[in-house]
Structure 1
Amino acid sequence: MSFIPCAFLVLLALAHRTTCLQGTWQPLASIAIAPRQEHTTLFVPPDSILLLGGITGDNATTTTNLVQQYSIRKNRWESFPPLPLALNHLNAAFMNDKIYVQRTWRSIAPVPEPRGSAAMGVYDGKVILAGGLKQIQLVSPYVQQTVDSVSIYNAAQNRWVTVPTASSTMPDPRDHACAAVINEHFYVLGGRERGQLKGKGTVLMLDLKDLRAGWTIGPVNMLTPRAGLSCGATGSKIYTFGGEGNLRVDSAVFNEMEVYDVATKTWEELGEMRVSRHGTGAVSVRGKIYVPGGGDVIGIAPVSYFDALVPS
């Protein structure tokens, strides 16, 4: 395939988007033991990336309790104590030198409304849990029960606090969204409601210093509405990767990378992922965004591929 400089692609893009990569992809050591999707990815300072739970085979019966630790410095996977239960689409966060999961190694106050695949953030000793799935069937009739509820856990008090009415529900239900906390604001991007092909494009924002103000909807939608995407934040920017529900390709998986600048409230295309994926979780560490595993076909199709984007 011949190379066409980015400057000339603008002239050729009458019906197509440009695909100029703005950054460098670095292939990393493949996920050890088994491929993985629908897991949760956490950064544990100073040097570890953890993969918790997820699906390792071609159906939901291969849900695992496996927790794996990747050393950034060594570019190597290492052992880690497993979860007490096999879980996929789990909600997990790292805060105050502890890993919090809806069902954890040490029991904490139970979540008010149990669900999976929620948008999550950590701020000021609290875990924010927004939306998610109360039920998902991967076989006919494929029932998927999406919720709009918002819960906040105070770790110091080991309790779920009362959320002001204006913030207690999202503007609309969504699951399989991605989220980031930047400058005391909680952002939820994309997601879906009741099905893989019903991706949303809105950006929701919650001021964590003023929960009584409620949710606001961003003035500009995502360039590519989608769910099952992953994102990582660095500076004022949220980088989004992949997702599922792409009707333009047989796999129905997106390879789009796009970035949202919360300061200017603008979107920009970044090009394509090296490997199209959904159902993974990205983490940002010192300006580099790590994207481990995921599925390369709509539904369940886990891969071991692991790479990181260094934005330009």
Structure 2
Amino acid sequence: MALTSMPNQPAKGWKTLAPLPDPIGYAGMVAGVLDGRLVVTGGTQWSHPLWLKGTRKFNDEIFVLDSIEGSWCRARAHLTEPCGHFATATTADAIYFAGGTDPKGCRTAVYELRAAGDDYVFRRLPDLPKPTGYAAGAIASGRFFVLGGVADPASTSPSREVWSLDLKKPDAGWTRETDLPGLGLLVSSGGSDGDSLFVFGGMTFVEGKPVPSTTAYRMDQPGGSWERLPDIPEPRVGINSPCPVLADGAIWLVGGYATVWPGAQRDHPGFAAETFRYQPSTRTWSHGPSLPNVGAGDRDAPGDAGPVPPIGAPVVVWKNHVIVIGGEVRISTRTPAVIAWPLTP
């Protein structure tokens, strides 16, 4: 589709914050703001890239950042078990994450994470009805939504199912919502303006082959039907999530990729620097600031200091900045880089 006339913006406005306190970094983390601090946990990294027969490690540590100029510290608390790649969303005082993956496969567990003085506590919520990894998450109308995903990490049959949990009455369990239109999706990205629910991009499969998606959908209220929105200007898989909503109501799609790399894993060119913004009030797309890209580092290392465009990174609005934390920057290569885009006061 045609974009509005807003030109593609350069990457020079990004700030580089202190890197995560792990030299490799993680993808598939969750993040949010608790008691004014930026808090991240979970995720995965590789000991070596896949072509060097590396093994995957799941994270259970919690990392905390007090200020834009500060350095990360490790919290005393840990996840109940190492895991990552959840459906996730946040409120003003809690981080919610559901499903995901661990060394055994996809998970059903659902948690709420809150601050408790100088530390953090987890509350177990009702399990998802079935194991679900690589799903999108969002909170709309007081309900935590989990959209799509797969029951097995190796699956080529992603789900169309949408489930929601009333955060005021979580013991009532999960409610089946209207299925996503079309084919099932994994690694799509969710967003919400508080009331309406949005889902963007992701990967589907046609005759067993992966097909990056341009789709965008909106549900106005729980129990409602899905509305097809104008397509994303190009396919986007693994958009860093949840998609932040800006002061003018625009929803910002940061990162992802448009095509499946057909070449050798070691030669992977990296992911998309171009970003897009969707304005619900006008149903139009525009370009956002491009992500910073200093170029690939050592291609045989499991981590890249960056900054280079990531996928699978959590995005948080904090202290008048949009923060993108870590992520995957090439196949099985992570980054500890943390970047921030200043918002206009």
Give TM-score scaled by structure 2 length. Answer: 0.74
* Distance in 1 of aligned mates of 2:213 and 2:338: 26
Structure 1 residues 91 and 300, CA gap change in structure 2 (3 angstroms): same
How many Å apart are 1:27 and its aligned residue? Answer: 0.9
Structure 2 residue 168 is matched with structure 1 residue 153: no
- Range with greater deviation from structure 2 (235-244 or 34-43): 34-43
Distance in 1, Cα, partners of 2:42 & 2:275 = 25
Structure 2 unmatched runs, 5+: 99-108, 112-121, 262-266, 293-307
Q: CA deviation at 1:245?
A: 4.5
Match of 1:240 in 2: 253
Q: Who is 1:289 aligned against?
A: 322
Closer, same or farther in 2 for the Cα pair 1:294/1:185, shift >3 Å? same
Shift of the 196–291 alpha-carbon distance from structure 1 to 2, 3 Å rule, reads farther
Cα 1:304/1:83, change in 2 over 3 Å: same
Identify the match of residue 36 of structure 2 among 47, 50, 67.
Answer: 47
Tell me the amino acid that sits aligned with residue 124 of structure 2. Answer: S
Which of 270, 275, 286 does residue 288 from structure 2 map onto? 270
Q: Are 1:85 and 2:81 counterparts? A: yes
Which of 266, 290, 312 pairs up with 1:279? 312
> How many angstroms does 1:198 deviate by?
2.1
Cα distance change on mapping 1:212 and 1:279 into 2, 3 Å = closer
Tell me the distance in 1 between the aligned counterparts of 2:193 and 2:277: 14
* Structure-2 residue corresponding to 1:215: 226
Partner residue, 2:301: none
Contact 1:246–1:254 (CA<8 Å) still a contact in 2? no
Shift of 1:32: 0.9
The 3 A distance-change label for structure 1 pair 20 and 96 is: closer
Mapped pair 1:306 → 2:338:
yes
Question: Is 1:108 matched up with 2:125?
Answer: yes
- Describe the SS at the equivalent of 2:20: coil
1:197: Cα distance to partner?
Answer: 5.3
Deviations along 1:232-253, whole A, 9 cap, x unmatched?
2213111112213546894252
Deviation at residue 108 of structure 1 after TM alignment? 2.3
Identity of aligned residues (%): 18
Does the 8 Å contact 2:218/2:227 carry over to 1? yes
The answer to whether the Cα contact below 8 Å between 1:40 and 1:91 also exists between their aligned partners in 2 is no
Is 2:139–2:194's contact at 8 Å kept on the other side of the alignment? no
The amino acid across from 1:200 in the alignment is S
Cα distance per residue 1:43-90 (max 9 Å; x no partner):
224422222211122456212222212223552212222111111212
Query: Is the 8 Å Cα contact of residues 41 and 49 (structure 1) preserved in structure 2?
Result: no
Question: C-alpha distance in 1, partners of 2:8/2:141?
Answer: 38
Rounded Cα–Cα distance in structure 1 between residues aligned with 2:45 and 2:130: 27
1:182-233 Cα distance to aligned partner (Å, 9 max, x none): 151111111112489521111110112xx34311110x21112110111322
**3-state SS of paired residue (1:179):** strand
C-alpha offsets along residues 168-191 of structure 1, whole Å, 9 cap, x if unaligned?
311131111111111511111111
Question: Do structure 1's residue 136 and structure 2's residue 153 form an aligned pair?
Answer: yes
Q: Which amino acid aligns with 2:273?
A: N
Does 98-107 or 79-88 show the bigger shift? 98-107
Give the counterpart letter for 2:238 in structure 1. Answer: G
The separation in 2 between residues aligned to 1:311 and 1:246, in whole angstroms, is 30
Q: Compute the TM-score of the two structures, normalised by the length of structure 1.
A: 0.81
